Amino acid sequence: MNKKLRLIIYVVICLAFLVVVSQKVYLAQQAKKYGQSYKFRIYGYDPRDIFRGNYLLFNFENWWELAAACREANYEKGETLYWIITTDEKSNISSFSRVTKELPQQGAYIKVKYNGWGIDPPFDRFFINEKRAAAAEKDFQAAVRRKEAYAKISIYNGFAVLENIYCGDEPLVKN
């Protein structure tokens, strides 16, 4: 391979990788800027990722029921589905009410894929600094027991970004 061709391929590959990384930033910033925020009740625990550090692994409260509903509906593996979000006006807590194949014309939704036995939740982890992980895990578990653990999510055009985790009214990450 000559020098010029090698350099051209190198530039193309680096640009492609930059686009992949930046696309995540762009979509997340769009959702944060223009999206609407929702609070979901969650539960979970604290494992560790060797490459990316400590995180809280969580799931949405009614995720298992929706996974069972998907299995009953006989969706095809890999099929794109939409999680419809409803919000309780009294408590201001949102939940995923149902799953549909058709793109919703109104209301908030999140685009997901059927994995053959359920749906991969749009978020399942919240990264946290290692030195605060133990205390955060303790607060989080106490909040889960009180049913006061929430995930705050911004959604824009079906793309969602996780803003913070709340134990009661206290955010887990302050800045």
Stretch in the footprint of other proteins (CB under 8 A) among 59-67, 68-76, 95-103, 120-128: 120-128
Which lies closer to other proteins via its Cβ, residue 99 or residue 119?
119
**Which of 91, 102, 131, 169 lies at the binding interface for other proteins (CB under 8 A)?**
131
Distance of alpha carbon 175 from alpha carbon 169, whole angstroms: 15
Local structure of 139: helix, strand or coil = helix
Distance of alpha carbon 13 from alpha carbon 112, whole angstroms: 29
Which lies closer to other proteins via its Cβ, residue 48 or residue 146?
48
Distance of alpha carbon 109 from alpha carbon 83, whole angstroms: 5
- 113 is a site residue for other proteins (CB under 8 A): no
- 9 is a site residue for other proteins (CB under 8 A): yes
15 to 54, contacts with other proteins by CB under 8 A?
17-18, 20-21, 24-25, 28, 49-53
Local structure of 149: helix, strand or coil = strand
Instruction: List C-alpha distances in Å: 47 to 55, 58, 64.
Output: 6, 10, 21
**What is the residue whose two structure tokens read 């061709």?**
5
DSSP state string for 82-138: EEEEEE-TTT--EEEEEEESSPPSSS-EEEEEB-SSSB--S--EEE--HHHHHHHHH
**Which of 43, 69, 125, 171 lies at the binding interface for other proteins (CB under 8 A)?**
125
- 162 is a site residue for other proteins (CB under 8 A): yes
**Which of 117, 129, 138, 147 lies at the binding interface for other proteins (CB under 8 A)?**
129
List interacting residues with other proteins (CB under 8 A).
3, 6-7, 9-11, 13-14, 17-18, 20-21, 24-25, 28, 49-53, 115, 120-127, 129-132, 161-162, 173, 175
